[in-house]
Structure 1
Amino acid sequence: MSQLEHTPPILVLNEIERRTTIDREASYWLDLHALLFISGGNGEVTLDGWRQHASRGKCFLLRANQTLHLHNGETEPLAYFLVLFSIQQDTAELLARNETLVFEPCSRLEDQLEELLVSSRRRNDSDEGRLNDFQLHIRFQTMLYEVLHKLHSDKQGAENARQSVERTIDYLHRAYREEIEIGRLAHEANMSRWQYGSLFKSLTGQTPARYLNSLRIEQAKTLLATSSARIHDIAARVGFRDEYYFSRRFKQTTGMSPTQFAHSRGRSPRIFSIQYLGELLALGIRPIGTNRSMLSALPEACTDVLPVDEPLDIGQLTELNPDLILYPSFVPDELARQLKNVAPAIEIDWNADVYTRLQQLGLLLDRAKEADEWIDRYKAKALRAKRLLKDTVREGETASAFIVHADGLFVYAGHHFGHTLYQGLGFEPSPGVFALMERNRNVKWQEIRLEDIPYYAGDRIFFALPGQGGDARKGREMLRHPIWRNLTAVREGKSYIVKDYWANYNPVTLDKHLDDTVRRLLRSP
């Protein structure tokens, strides 16, 4: 019997959903690989600084562990299918990179995705249900093969007219800051200016010049609302060489001058934050800088929030010229004194829960409404998550979470990971964790010995493992230890090893962590 020359990839469909972006934008943390297919509308897709135009028929193959943002354009909202899948084997690295293509005829792929969606809703534990799962798996593999085949063909062959125009639109999303001539774009697409403009408008609903202007104005609106840069600097940063021309076009588009727009959005002071980047982002504020480690936890802020080295470099901080500094209550007195010599500095209680911190910052920065809205959205999302898990998590089921940090083993209480488990998903704390929380309601975690784990372990247990270094080695040793392996949750397949960045306690991480934990639980026994 002949053998295959190349080992084919092994892929597992995890989830498929069809959505329309009702709000101005939607964001997802992709803990799995994904296929995103735009079935209607137009707008923009961004992933960690990678910008692409989105319109009907556009298809994106996306690697795991990145943040996906979808932004509506000026005409109709984006409608899309989002397919999440895990890769058990891909030796050829067919899915190792972000890829984009135009799938034509788009109705064919749309019909396949609709069939997958309908079939996924019929899953059950009967014999017929297991056969349906097998058929669903085959359909998913076939659909993904067609997408990969089309991608390969596009790379080997010549562009068609739509692909040529799509390529120039993607260029506009990346290079809107530069001086751009529409005639040159038409030449790059190998079309007359009239042909190019006609096809461009059919894809975006706007002429090329108006589309470019809209891109620049949207970026300017974000900067005006979230930064304290001068109007002249903002105009230059979004591609306008003349401040007066920028102001005129901005008023034509929005009905108000850039200065009026900034004031109407409660433009924030130039803020430097130690630890509270996630809270500021949740309030719609982008600080000018933060401590470097926060950008590792929240990479979506890396494009325009500047890092300051740790231990905190006061010289770097001074060069940022902040109007306000926010710092946590664990900062030593000497460092707090140095901060106050740079700018007005306000201490924020590090031991407070995330809701209290967010509301405190909301009052301080005139964003109380935004703080309450985020809390309401999170609680509503948590209720939806509980409904999704009603057949997976039984009433009264307990859970606990552990992490290796600074060469020690810690169990979480009601904050950090505990917030997701107990407030977000409604698990009960294990008796050991409950006793810990009763002794101190604001305790975040408690250092324990390895032999203490059975006392704190719940019906389900989570272990946050660093990716590298001494803590990672120590964590892996603990996971091989008989004490861990003999826990009931481990033996029953109800233990979960997760990345240690989920341990960060801020609104943005909590929001993504809720999604990630729900997906893990739905895939578990």
Structure 2
Amino acid sequence: MPPIVQLIRIRPLMDPLIDKERNSEAGPREALSASSEDHHLLVATESGGWIAAGGAPRPFARGRCLLLPPGARIEWLPTDASAPPCKYWVQFKVEQDDAGLFASPAELRFEPLSRLEADLRELLSPGGDNGSPEQPPPEDGLARFHRHIRFQAILYELLAQQSAGRQEPESDPAIEQIISYLHQAYSEEIEFDRLAQEANLSRWQYDRMFRTITGQSPARYLSAIRIEEAKKLLASSSLRVGEIASRVGFRDEFYFSRRFRQSTGLSPSEYQASRQGPRIISIQYLGELLALGIRPIGTNSAMFAALPEAADAVRGFDEPYDIRALSELRPDLILYPSYIERQVAERLSRIATAVEIDWSADVYTRMLRLGELLGKAVEAKQWIAAYEEKAKNARRRLQGIAGDGETATAFVYHSGDLYVYAGHHFGHTLYRGIGFKPTRRVQAIMEQDRNAKWVRIEPSELPEYAGDRVFLALPETGFEGERGRKLLNHSGWYGLPAVTEGRAYVMSDMWANYNPITLEKHLDEIVCRLIAD
């Protein structure tokens, strides 16, 4: 049976699409959610941009059309914030589609585009903007019937051109490689003449083919990439505008600011102020904030040993805390752990609102508490679910390697003493992540205090706590590392069955930090070590 299609409404878009959302990494995007019952047809404008429909963003330039089934969702990343992303938006209902012609999203090209635009303008003519279901266009039933037929003819030709292979010119592999290169090397000095030569193309051919594929000139395309990367840094770091300009490939800060304002309508400083949330100083909870998509303006420098990726974008400070220096950062909120002395906490509260976070709480509790406090409750739950799924995949990979019911114990050498981990830190990875069982002595510690971090023991007590597998976290360098490695020659260690049977693992003490980002990395490290064993 042929499909039956009913036109519901059609309208020209004079303003950017639908719902503006904030993305913590990528800045503002336009989002369209198709209704649960209706189909949609979008026709792109000159401004171009990128669309993401559940996958990686891809170019969506003038002349391209997008068919969306009910419930579909796309994100639009415009290259020009002042221009609407689509020229026409058509909403229609498919009452019968046995062949599944409208069952999935499809990106099409109508040729010639001028005829498609003329046809759509004619469909609009009876009532101007026919977009309101509450105010249908003033036309009789026969005229409405005719409009439905004309719209079905448009859909037929779109699908027919797709079937005939006319909807999209062939992409040149050399241009596709150049596009990929621009996304990777946008921060470097780009010479388009050299890229054209390497592709064995004249500059004229190169420009024409590039514009055909992307809808933009190479220079404008590269500028759009750089602006998008700048948005990410402006929204997630406290870097100065000049440094951000340099990082994304603009050698002149003033030119960068001018191009940024042309693209977004805001100066970089205005954009940064509008996109960043509260200015947060966090003592110890850097990993939790990063997992929630929040980058604080400052943290204690000790956190960078576990999270070096944040060192370039977050200001570090050392203990004892310089209250005057912290005040100069102009924070809106200070997060501090419950072990901070009361007089220090009082001084912090004179700078900004200061909130104590329970240092003894497990990482899930911390995430939920911070998520509630910072308006990121959904993100907190999402991280917990994602970690549980990652742990499940880790256990699946270790089937047949780490046996059911196998016990394991983690120890750490810290500040001249030896500790055994309970259910937090390294213990979280072993017991809640990988699924090892704690030994009887470790279980007793956990039952006595479910938030126990670790317990100091003597090297001679190692056999009382050690499981079928043992893990020892040691400093890698320095005096502490040298002293810690002496444990490996202690009879309490080398006499363990796990050591003599090759089931002992010496790890870096960087894994001893207890935060969401490190726990994810730790899972990967443990799996790799056990598989390689």
TM-score norm. by structure 1 comes to 0.61
Quick one: structure 1 residues 313 and 521, their matched pair in 2 at CA, closer, same or farther if it must change by over 3 Å?
same
1:176-212 deviations in Å (ceiling 9; x for gaps): xx8x785698799998643654687799996422332
Q: Aligned AA for 1:281? A: L
Alignment partner, residue 520 of structure 1 = 529
Quick one: structure 1 residues 226 and 460, their matched pair in 2 at CA, closer, same or farther if it must change by over 3 Å?
same
Does the aligned pair in 2 maintain the 1:273–1:327 contact within 8 Å?
A: yes
Taking the TM superposition and a 5 Å limit, the aligned residue runs for 1:181-192 are: none
Does the aligned pair in 2 maintain the 1:165–1:199 contact within 8 Å?
A: no
Q: Distance in 2 between matches of 1:481 and 1:205?
A: 69
Q: Distance in 1 between matches of 2:406 and 2:256?
A: 63
Provide the secondary structure at the position in 1 that maps to 2:303.
helix
Does the aligned pair in 2 maintain the 1:413–1:436 contact within 8 Å?
A: yes
Structure 1 unaligned regions, length at least 5: 1-23, 26-70, 77-160
Quick one: structure 1 residues 199 and 470, their matched pair in 2 at CA, closer, same or farther if it must change by over 3 Å?
farther
1:273-324 deviations in Å (ceiling 9; x for gaps): 1111100000001111111111121011122111112332333322222111
Alignment partner, residue 288 of structure 1 = 297
2:271 equivalent to 1:246: no
Structure 2 unaligned regions, length at least 5: 1-23, 26-54, 61-173
Alignment partner, residue 174 of structure 1 = 187
Q: Distance in 1 between matches of 2:186 and 2:259?
A: 21
Quick one: structure 1 residues 187 and 505, their matched pair in 2 at CA, closer, same or farther if it must change by over 3 Å?
same
RMSD over aligned Cα, in angstroms? Answer: 3.9
Does the aligned pair in 2 maintain the 1:226–1:268 contact within 8 Å?
A: no
Quick one: structure 1 residues 354 and 212, their matched pair in 2 at CA, closer, same or farther if it must change by over 3 Å?
same
Q: Distance in 1 between matches of 2:502 and 2:201?
A: 59
Quick one: structure 1 residues 233 and 490, their matched pair in 2 at CA, closer, same or farther if it must change by over 3 Å?
closer
237-246 or 326-335, larger mean C-alpha shift: 237-246
2:58 equivalent to 1:74: yes
Does the aligned pair in 1 maintain the 2:388–2:433 contact within 8 Å?
A: yes
Deviation at 1:168, TM superposition (A): 7.9
2:196 equivalent to 1:212: no
Provide the secondary structure at the position in 2 that maps to 1:312.
coil
Provide the secondary structure at the position in 2 that maps to 1:437.
helix
1:97-142 deviations in Å (ceiling 9; x for gaps): xxxxxxxxxxxxxxxxxxxxxxxxxxxxxxxxxxxxxxxxxxxxxx
Alignment partner, residue 226 of structure 1 = 236
Q: Aligned AA for 2:361? A: A
Deviation at 1:223, TM superposition (A): 3.6
The correspondence for 1:308, drawn from 317, 320, 325, is 317
Q: Distance in 1 between matches of 2:287 and 2:370?
A: 11
Deviation at 1:467, TM superposition (A): 1.0
Alignment partner, residue 109 of structure 2 = none
Taking the TM superposition and a 5 Å limit, the aligned residue runs for 1:57-72 are: none
Taking the TM superposition and a 5 Å limit, the aligned residue runs for 1:407-418 are: 407-418=416-427
Q: Distance in 2 between matches of 1:359 and 1:259?
A: 32
2:496 equivalent to 1:487: yes
Does the aligned pair in 1 maintain the 2:287–2:515 contact within 8 Å?
A: yes
Does the aligned pair in 1 maintain the 2:186–2:226 contact within 8 Å?
A: no
2:388 equivalent to 1:379: yes
Q: Distance in 2 between matches of 1:205 and 1:276?
A: 44
Provide the secondary structure at the position in 1 that maps to 2:492.
helix
Q: Distance in 1 between matches of 2:434 and 2:456?
A: 24
Quick one: structure 1 residues 171 and 510, their matched pair in 2 at CA, closer, same or farther if it must change by over 3 Å?
closer
Deviation at 1:230, TM superposition (A): 10
Does the aligned pair in 2 maintain the 1:328–1:348 contact within 8 Å?
A: yes
- Look at both structures and tell me which one has the larger radius of gyration over its CA atoms: 2
Quick one: structure 1 residues 511 and 199, their matched pair in 2 at CA, closer, same or farther if it must change by over 3 Å?
farther
Alignment partner, residue 332 of structure 2 = 323
Does the aligned pair in 1 maintain the 2:237–2:313 contact within 8 Å?
A: no
Q: Distance in 2 between matches of 1:263 and 1:166?
A: 31
Quick one: structure 1 residues 400 and 204, their matched pair in 2 at CA, closer, same or farther if it must change by over 3 Å?
farther
Does the aligned pair in 2 maintain the 1:228–1:269 contact within 8 Å?
A: no
Alignment partner, residue 515 of structure 2 = 506
Q: Aligned AA for 2:303? A: M
1:339-376 deviations in Å (ceiling 9; x for gaps): 11222111111000000001111111101111000000
Q: Distance in 1 between matches of 2:288 and 2:303?
A: 12
Q: Distance in 2 between matches of 1:436 and 1:307?
A: 35
Alignment partner, residue 10 of structure 2 = none
Quick one: structure 1 residues 324 and 517, their matched pair in 2 at CA, closer, same or farther if it must change by over 3 Å?
same
Provide the secondary structure at the position in 2 that maps to 1:322.
coil
Q: Distance in 1 between matches of 2:286 and 2:373?
A: 15
What is the percent sequence identity of the aligned residues? 52
1:158-184 deviations in Å (ceiling 9; x for gaps): xxx99x969984884334xx8x78569
The correspondence for 2:452, drawn from 420, 427, 443, is 443
Q: Aligned AA for 1:226? A: S
